[in-house]
Amino acid sequence: MSAKGAGRIAGRYLVTGGAGFVGSHVVAALLDRGDEVVVLDNLATGHRNAVLPGARLVVGDLEDAALVDELLAEQPWDAVLHFAALSLVGDSMRDPFRYIGVNVGTGVRLIGACVRHGVRRFVLSSTAALFGAGSDAPIAEDAPVDPGSPYGESKAMLERTLHWAGRVHGLRSAALRYFNAAGADPRGRLGEDHAPETHLIPLVIDAALGRRPELTVFGADYPTPDGTCIRDYVHVTDLADAHLRALPLLDSASVRFNLGSGQGHSVRDVIASVERVTGRRVPHRIAARRPGDPPVLVAASGRFAQASGWQPRFGELDAIVRTALAWREAHPQGYRAGP
């Protein structure tokens, strides 16, 4: 550890999945404040170019127990932040055993290895998909966990594993349940690039830009005011900031928080926002519901705001869309063309 910045002691962090969407933005936030970061990523869905040059990228798999041991032996670690996972609700409905097997298997082994190596703090990238049936009301941390998909179930199982790692071994953990991560680094260094892309905001933007013929709206017969699903879109840079703010809370206890903007937006609202921001029409067609999608998922994030002073900087949907649009316009090929 070395002293850097205004009085803060810089830390050392191991970030699994740090080449992915949320992970890469958290790595950027750690680097921006002067921390040392090692990323472990198998690049199955992450991108080499999404790891900013200040971090050390180790290309490898969490299934490789010897590699994980070797990395964790490189003490000291201020925390391990665990993002690496299969993360598509729809895929998990088609292949539940893979999702549960991989996410729970790798996560449990990583948590166990952290305990063996004396790591004291662990941050789990968790999800609103814990609350499967959803609710019209904003969802608080103590809402019943009832995953609507094997993906959500796999994260619920890891939250429970962390509970026992805390009870039995004293590992402090933060389970951060993201609602819909969206947007892109406002400095233009990072963005969202999945192959294939399945997330709403990049797909709506691509339809507006003429990069795909149209958007398919998965269901317009939900019990919501306009019939389309309502989600709580939270800017990925605000999520990254939330991770930094969660770390010091672990000095006193394990925590779990729901992270969203507290604002619900329907699929049609997202289309309207993209039309406002781009000044173009979004061609779209209504199709059947996508299995596993609850009608409404909106966070009650008040507890985290109160505990940490967190305040989303990009709370407005249009602000989220603007940063996502800027990155997609600048990187039509995503990360393939370079950083």
Residues labelled as active-site residues: 151
Q: What is the DSSP string of 117-182?
A: TT--EEEEEEEGGGBTT--SSPBPTTSPPB-SSHHHHHHHHHHHHHHHHHHHH--EEEEEEESEEE
Can you tell me which of 293, 317, 324, 327 binds ligand UDP, judged by CB under 6 A?
Answer: 293
261 belongs to the binding site for ligand UDP (CB under 6 A): no
CA-only gyration radius of the chain, Å: 19
Q: With contacts defined by CB under 6 A, name the span among 27-35, 163-171, 194-202, 234-242 that binds ligand UDP.
A: 194-202
C-beta of 218 vs 314, nearer to ligand UDP: 218
* Contact by Cβ (8 Å): 182, 201: yes
Within residues 230-249, the interface with ligand UDP by CB under 6 A covers: 231
217 belongs to the binding site for ligand UDP (CB under 6 A): yes
229 belongs to the binding site for ligand UDP (CB under 6 A): yes
Pair type for strands 230-231 and 265-266 = antiparallel
Nearest distance from C-beta of residue 224 to ligand UDP, angstroms = 10
Alpha-carbon distance of 113 to 108, in angstroms, equals 9
C-beta of 82 vs 265, nearer to ligand UDP: 265
Can you tell me which of 131, 218, 310, 335 binds ligand UDP, judged by CB under 6 A?
Answer: 218
C-beta of 40 vs 176, nearer to ligand UDP: 176
Burial category of 76 from C-beta neighbours within 10 Å (exposed 0-12, middle 13-18, buried 19 and up): exposed
C-beta of 104 vs 229, nearer to ligand UDP: 229
- Tokens representing 282 are 């979004």
42 belongs to the binding site for ligand UDP (CB under 6 A): no
Cβ of 135: how many Cβ atoms within 10 Å?
A: 16
216 belongs to the binding site for ligand UDP (CB under 6 A): yes
Reduced DSSP (H G I as helix, E B as strand, rest coil) percent helix, strand, coil of the chain, to 5: 40, 20, 40
Q: With contacts defined by CB under 6 A, name the span among 26-34, 65-73, 136-144, 196-204 that binds ligand UDP.
A: 196-204
89 belongs to the binding site for ligand UDP (CB under 6 A): yes
177 belongs to the binding site for ligand UDP (CB under 6 A): no
Alpha-carbon distance of 272 to 267, in angstroms, equals 9
199 belongs to the binding site for ligand UDP (CB under 6 A): yes
Nearest distance from C-beta of residue 130 to ligand UDP, angstroms = 12
* Contact by Cβ (8 Å): 84, 58: no
Which of 292, 235, 261 has its CA nearest to residue 139?
Answer: 261
267 belongs to the binding site for ligand UDP (CB under 6 A): yes
- Tokens representing 147 are 């995953």
Binding site for ligand UDP (CB under 6 A): 89, 180, 198-200, 203, 215-218, 229, 231, 267, 290, 293
